[in-house]
Amino acid sequence: MTDLPPYGRLLQLARGEHGHFTMPFHENVIGRPGYLHGGAIAGLLEFAAFERLRLAIDDERVTMKPVTITVDYLRGAGAARGDTHCDGVIERLGNRIANVDAVAWQTDRAKPVATARITFLLERP
């Protein structure tokens, strides 16, 4: 497992299996009182997408550059619901382009707080 970059450490992300991340509710991720900041949620979604793609490619020489990121905020992510979890799902993995969907939820995966669709440009050696 590789170390997280500074932003991942600021968010206090915990890496799980198969690209799963968990972000605890803490002072650095608060937006409006009692809720997560949208940027923290977007960061969590992006980390999960990158991690899922990295695990699938399994080649550190491949550069993954996000080309398009679309985030849909579906409901407020409140402190009362605890940690926020996120997984990425690869929808397409080609030689030059990959599409990854990410879903963030708190207590029930069937009730996501946000989703993202990220298109990556892949530069292979």
- What would the pLDDT profile of 93-118 be if each residue is shown by its tens digit? 999 999 999 999 999 999 999 999 99
Tokens of 7: 């932003």
Quick one: pLDDT band at residue 81, thresholds 50, 70, 90?
A: confident
pLDDT digits (tens, 9 = 90+) for 33-78: 989 999 999 999 999 999 999 999 999 999 999 999 999 999 999 8
**Cα(120)–Cα(97) distance, rounded to whole angstroms?**
6
Architecture of the domain whose range is 6-123: Roll (3.10)
pTM over 0.95: no
pLDDT at 8 over 80: yes
